[in-house]
Amino acid sequence: MTVPTGPTEATLPALLEEHARSRPEGLAVACGERLLSWSELRIEILQLARALHEAGIGPGDRVLWMGQNCHRVLEALAACAHLGATLCPVNWRQSSVELAFVLNDAEPKLVFWQDEEVGEVMLAARGAATTSARWIQLDGTGSRRGEESFAAFVEAPDLLPQGSCAVPEGAALMLYTGAFGGHPHGALLSNRALVTVGMANAMVRGLQPDDVFLNSGPLFHLGTWMCTLATYVLGATNVFVPRVDADLLLRVIADNRCTGAFLMPTTITDLVALNRSVRADLKSLRWPKSTPEWDAMVSFDDSPWARRPGGTGQTEVGGLATFAALGGEGLHGRPFPLIELRVVDAEGLDVPPDEVGEMIVRGPVVMNGYHNRPSLNVEKFRGGWYHTGDLARRHGDGSVTFIAPMSRMIKSAAENIYPAEVEACLRQHPLVRAAAVIGVPDERWAQSVKAIVVLEEGASIDATELIEFCRASIASYKKPRVVTFVAELPMRGYAIDYDSLDAVHGGGGYPGGGNRSA
């Protein structure tokens, strides 16, 4: 197994400099027709850093990426890190209302945005927001909408002078997560956290410097970034596609000889169906045992990660706090050695083995905090530990099983959906008196959203109208697929009795296989 052995306080720019020295001709990124060696990638990143510097970007500033996947996301991350600034890739699938909230909340100095496919929503969000940020159009010349183009922004050939403002503890990446309280929060991950996440995932997954990772999952989620960073840390090859498209994925995997990829089960099903006629060569791709047809197309991966993939964690702790591949009785394995994890009661005391408590974490992967949330940060970091808000059980052998979020979360395909956010949207309708949202098992998507709604006295509305009302305010994947009307919601004291709702309305399939009463 090959793992990085650089300094423990390495930053993303420091890694880039060493890769450009150690493997100057090695392929760093592939994106469409663009193939860049590590020395070429370094030049592009320093050119972008120079452009950002001249645009007034410096330590503590935020730059937003409002577009689909591209190698430029990785370049923007490293360029921002050079300047001590923070890159925030935004979920381009959101509604203009949600995007306007992020624009106002993140307070960026500069926004990279994409016109193709998502431009109308981006510009609607810009019109609704109060930001004074400079906007740079990623695709095209920018002239169609009178915007400044990315090509013009970076056309000056000068590189950033030697030296970097990057510091290990400086926030380099911000990802919005956790719509608790009705709104998402920007988790700030440091250079140290990102390098550690990359090292941990490279080691546990058994990656090698000749691996080729396909960034087919969205880069506004840490689920993809974990392997992107592992590939970057090792000096291996990252391949980028704008979004999931089965025909494109087949060609890219075959042409680039990808060894790994971020693929959801539904995408694999689509790839199998399409490849019956396309017959692309996918044998470079290593994958755990799955369906007979898919297994025949790819190569079998028998690594510890493949035998026990995943773990438990969240964006705020760099993705995975524990890795199932590290073994143990618990379903979700053990923490990576640099991570400390405890399971505690309401008073912050360790619970006995096999009892359920809150999982708390500290170590280099833990976020710096949420952007502009001082009171929430005090609550989350009380006692010097990050309180995850997740329930877990620590077994006698020290391994961990995740139970459920203390406030429920619905997992639909790769998306995290927080009921409080959907409920807040439903309650904005003038005919809705109360609403509760549960997750119901879904054969294709793992879970789907079901809303239980109480209308104002004498009111009447069609379920489809309520669903469309939600679609206009929140991302389409968050809207309820089913709405059931009831006279009253079951209560447990002053709180909604979600266990009762699950029992009556078919709820279940929550991440970890549990609910709060587990």
pLDDT at 7: 41
Task: Show the domain range for 32.
Answer: 12-238
Residues 208 and 77 in one domain: yes
Q: Are residues 297 and 258 in the same domain?
A: yes
Indicate whether 143 and 270 sit together in one domain: no
pLDDT single digits (tens) 341-392: 999 988 999 999 988 889 999 999 999 999 999 999 999 999 999 999 988 8
Is 176 found in the same domain as 297?
Answer: no
**Does 1 reside within a domain?**
no
Sign of the C-alpha dihedral computed for residues 40, 42, 45 and 47 taken in this order: negative
Interhelix angle for 12-22 vs 191-205, to 10°?
Answer: 50
For residue 517, pLDDT over 80 is answered with no
Instruction: Return the pLDDT at 20.
Output: 97
Pair (295, 375) in one structural domain = no
CATH code at position 436: 3.30.300.30
Reported residue count of the chain is 518
**pTM here?**
0.84
When computed from its CA atoms, the radius of gyration of the chain, rounded to whole angstroms, is: 23
Instruction: For residue 270, tell me if it sits in a domain.
Output: yes
Residues 133 and 273 in one domain: no
Angle at 200 between CA 284 and CA 88, to 5 degrees: 90
Per residue in 32-44, pLDDT (tens digit) is 999 999 999 999 9
pLDDT at 141: 62
Q: State what percent of residues in the chain have pLDDT above 70.
A: 93
The tally of domains found in the chain comes to 4
* pLDDT at residue 435 is higher than 80: yes
- pLDDT tens digit string along 82-126? 999 999 999 999 999 999 999 999 999 999 999 999 999 999 999
How far is the C-alpha of 512 from the C-alpha of 447, rounded, in Å?
Answer: 13
Per-residue pLDDT of 295-322, as tens digits, reads 999 999 999 999 999 999 999 999 999 9
Residue that is last in its domain, among 238, 266, 285: 238
Residues 123 and 30 in one domain: yes
In this structure, the answer to whether residues 234 and 251 fall within a common structural domain is: no
CA 388 to chain centre: 16
Same domain, yes or no: 380 and 415: no
